[in-house]
Every structure is written in C-alpha cells, then in structure tokens.
Amino acid sequence: MNPLKIVLAKSTLSLLLVLGLSWSFSVPSVAQVLSPGTCGTASPDPEHLSYLEAIGEAYRNGLDMSITRRDSGGLSRIYIPFKAHIVRAPGSNNYMQVPALLTTLCELNQKYRASGIQFYLKDLPNYIFDGSLYYHTGWTQGNTQMTTYNMSRVVNVHFVDLSAMGLCGYATFPGSGAGTTLRQGGLMMSVPCSQPGNTTLAHEMGHYLALPHPFEGTSPQPQGVFAERVTRNTNEPAPRLNSNCATAGDRFCDTPADFIGNRWPCNGAAPQDTDINGDAFRPDATLFMSYSNDNCQNKFSAEQMNVMRYTLTGTSGGNGPRSYLLLPPMPAYDSVRSSTTLIEPAAGAPASPANWVYFKWTAAPNATMYYVRVVRGITLMFERWVSDTSLLYTGPDLASNGNYSVTVRPFNPASTCAPSSPSRSFTTTTPFGLSTSGLIDQYFRVYPTVLRQGEPLFYQFSDATEGIDAMEITVRSMQGQSVYQNRVMDAQALKTIATEKLSPGFYTLEARTGRWSKAIKIIVQ
C-alpha cells in the first residue's frame, strides 16, 4: 500500500510529519484540453489531493512546515536548477530565442521571490533540431521528448509549439510524467506564451511544484455538493453548509473559491455564479494559478508557497517529493546589475573579412557568461555563449559586403536580468578563403596565417596599444630577407600586406616597439 494512504487520517498527521515518509504519486501524464490558449495540466489524482490536505492541515495548525523557516532576510532561499530544451524545426525561426529566455527566467524569479524559491540556469540551453518534436499535435510527442531528452536533478522545461492543441503549456505533478524518478516529467511550454510579460511559465511551474488550479473540481458544477464553497465559516447555521476549503477545490483556505475554468478578465466583466449556499463566487484574479488574464496575476498565496517549498524541502523528518532538485547545491552567485559596452568593432571601423570579425566588450561585475548575438535586420545570423570579454568569429554565417549589428548580454546562471549592450553596427568585406587561422595577441591581430599567393595578409593593433610608441612591422623570408616594412602610427586601423610578389613558402612577421616584440610564422601557398 502507498505509505501516503496509511497516514492520511487526521489523527495520524503528526506521524506523517515526524517520519517524513517518501511520497509516491500516480497522476496521469496525459493532460486534459481546456479552452484555447490555456493550461493542459491534468487534474490531480486522489493521492495528490490527500497530500495537499495533509500539508494544509499541518500549516493551519501551526506545525513546523517549510513556509515557517526563515533566515535574517525573510524566507530562506531555495535554489532550483532550470534546464531549457529549445526545439527547432529546420528552416524556421519560430523557436524560443535566447534574449526572451533570459528575460522570461528573470521575470519568473521576480514572480517567485516572495516564496523564497529561485531558479538558475543549469548549463546552456539544449537545442533539439527535430521538427517532429516542435509542432505538437498530441501528448505522445511530449512524452517522447521528456523520455529522450530530460536531464536528472533539474526542472526540465521544453519550448515547443502547442498551438495545434489549443494550449499555452502543461506540466506534470510530482511523481508523474515520462521518465525515471530523478528526470521525471517537467514543463512543456508553447513559445508564443513563453515570451516576456506572460505568466504561463509561473503558472505551469506552480503545477510542477504540486499546485492545482483554484477552480479544481468546482468549475464543472459550482453548485455541486463537493464543489468548494465560498464561506470560510466552519459553523454555519442550518441549512447552510459549512466551509469545505480544506477538502475541496485546490485545498487551500487562503485562496477564495473559484469556479472559472476558462480565461477571464479582471476588469469587472468576469463570469458570475453562486455556490450551493447561494453565495456569490469572488475568485481572486491576482493568483498565478487562476485562469484570469496575464495582466491580472501577481502572487501566490501563503498556503500555495508553503506547499511548493514543502514539495522541495520536506520537513526535518524527511524529504519532499522533489527534493532531488536540491543536489548538488548551486554555487554562489551575485547579481549582475549592469550591462556591458562594446569596444570592437569600433564605431566607424573599417570593414572586417566576413569570416574573421573580432568582438570585444567591457566586463560586467559578477557576470560569468556573455551572450553575443549578431543580426542582419531582424534575422539572426549567429549567436555565441562566451565566458571571456572577447570573441573571434571565424564562421561561414556572414556574407561579403554585409551590414550587421551585434549586442552582448551579461549574465550568470542565477542572474539573467541585466540588459543587452547598445547595438553596434559593423560591415564585412570579402572573406579570405584558405584559412581562418590567425593570431590574437594582447596588442595586435594577424590573419590569416596560411594564405594563397595574392590574398591579402591583414594586421591590426588593439586599443591596448594606446600610449605605446610607433611599431615597426617587418616581414622576412626564411632566409632572413626583408620583403615588407612599415612604421605604424595609427595603431588601430586595419592594414593589409599585398602578397602577389611573395613566392610560396614560409615567412615571419615581426612587430616591435621599444619595449615589446612578437614574431608570427606565415605560410604562403
């Protein structure tokens, strides 16, 4: 027998808390279709509802549940790893873009701040290039996707297109969904509903952390005997029925009875109805778990926060059903509050070869990563995740004589709210064809180091050369004969060396100042 069933009786609730028994749920992974653009999370099964009732009674009796654990700054922080799986269909740009992901995760943490729960990026997004898993037409694709790609000990969040199912997203309750225990279930999010300003991710994450809808079991028959009643009075005069908030609806007595299972506005035009006592429902449009429009929602109730925290941490007597998310613990990170400034390509700089563009930017305090994004108009050309403050791009994605713009966004896994840098425009020239190898030094760059006879050899000095005397540039053959000399005064300008008259073979480019020198081997074929 499931251990939960043994201890559900109210008389044995204290035993449940002391023993901290393991929980096992069997909520179906197949969700119910509601109205278009809504949530497809399945109704919780009786075992899960009993789990909520047990936690709720302990909370209302003042027992030591997770919500009461505080540190000097309020609720103690619980850090949860967030793994993004971004599905892409070949030839389509309708996938979850990284800037939107970072901002949406920032907003998710703002919505969960009062609960003391904070999500952090677990490594970089996992890109799934499979069109058959992007456009979902049924539940099978979601189960296949979670079974195949879920990672262990993280919240697996998959970004797909659920529009054909009429859904914005769905999630699995603890103990349910595809996959084994430490990688079971997750969230399936429709890209249009996952953009900044939406609350769908907060709503579905609530389901993942055990919260049902506030209208659970009431919306089909608001006047039914088992529907949640508006009253919170446990001693109503006959023939009125007493409050049943602890055993009906979402099982939370600090969320008003709700009967609206479709999206509804919060401007006074909401549907109206009464319960079995004849009392008018007054659902709370500000709850993230309701079906009110996104702009209405802004909070979780205290009991809802308690359940989410208990689901993660359990009590001193045992673990919660999602406690596996807490190990290993998150490394310490401080907030990234400021953006960065692009240094190179400098404003108005000469065009760079299309397959050799050097980007450099200022460091942002506390940032451990930088997201570099290059676009042409609104089309993404390439993106890179960089742990340094510079990037040498040598790929095939840029065309000759193109006009592009670049932005850089600083962040760390726990802090994704900093804005991107101001956009910087740059242009490209014809790419060099034989090799994209070269040298990047603190003071100068030389490329390519392998080239065909007649192709130009480029060199350029960085802004670190400011205050340094003029540089002497010499190219020598293997016999030591000087074949090129130049005295460089305008250090940061891009310069070229013609190679039409150079015979195939090995050469050395020498750069010298009064206190610094460097020699680079060049091959002309």
Class of domain 3-211+300-326: alpha beta
- Percent of all residues in the chain with a pLDDT value above 90, rounded to a whole number: 66
> CA torsion angle for 451, 452, 454, 456 (degrees, to 10)?
-20
Residue 355: what pLDDT?
82
Whether residue 516 is predicted with pLDDT greater than 50 in this model: the reply is yes
Class of domain 433-525: mainly beta
Please, which contacts does 519-524 make with residues 24 or more away whose CB atoms are closer than 8 Å?
520/439, 520/446, 520/449, 521/449, 522/446, 522/449, 522/450, 522/451, 522/457, 522/475, 523/449, 523/450, 523/451, 524/451, 524/452, 524/453, 524/499
Q: Provide CATH 2.60.40.1930 ranges for the chain.
A: 433-525
Q: Provide CATH 3.40.390 ranges for the chain.
A: 3-211+300-326
C-alpha pair distances (Å), 349 with each of 343, 355, 373, 460: 11, 16, 19, 11
Provide the pLDDT confidence category of residue 441 given band limits of 50, 70 and 90: low
Residue 35: what pLDDT?
40
As a whole number of angstroms, the distance between CA 349 and CA 347 comes to 5
For residue 356 the two structure tokens come to: 């050799």
As a whole number of angstroms, the distance between CA 124 and CA 309 comes to 26
- Count CB neighbours of 517 within 10 A: 11
Residue 2: what pLDDT?
31
pTM, two decimal places: 0.82
Query: Coil, strand, or helix at residue 439?
Result: strand
Residue 394: what pLDDT?
79
For residue 86 the two structure tokens come to: 């971004």
Residue 303: what pLDDT?
95
Residue 448: what pLDDT?
80
As a whole number of angstroms, the distance between CA 310 and CA 333 comes to 24
Backbone φ/ψ region at 448: left (φ over 0), alpha (ψ -120 to 50), beta: beta
- Count CB neighbours of 6 within 10 A: 13
516's CB contacts (< 8 A; 6+ apart) are 443, 468
Q: Provide CATH 2.60.40.10 ranges for the chain.
A: 332-431
C-alpha pair distances (Å), 217 with each of 168, 210, 303: 21, 16, 19
Taking only the tens place, the pLDDT of each residue in 363-374 is: 999 999 999 999
Whether residue 218 is predicted with pLDDT greater than 90 in this model: the reply is yes
Taking only the tens place, the pLDDT of each residue in 93-144 is: 899 999 999 999 999 999 999 999 999 999 999 999 999 999 999 999 999 9
Residue 468: what pLDDT?
58
Residue 23: what pLDDT?
39
For residue 268 the two structure tokens come to: 């006074």
Residue 478: what pLDDT?
87
Q: Which CATH number fits domain 332-431: 3.40.640.10, 2.60.40.10, 1.20.120.450, 3.30.450.20?
A: 2.60.40.10
Provide the pLDDT confidence category of residue 92 given band limits of 50, 70 and 90: confident
Q: How confident is the prediction for the chain on average, in pLDDT?
A: 86
Query: Coil, strand, or helix at residue 83?
Result: strand
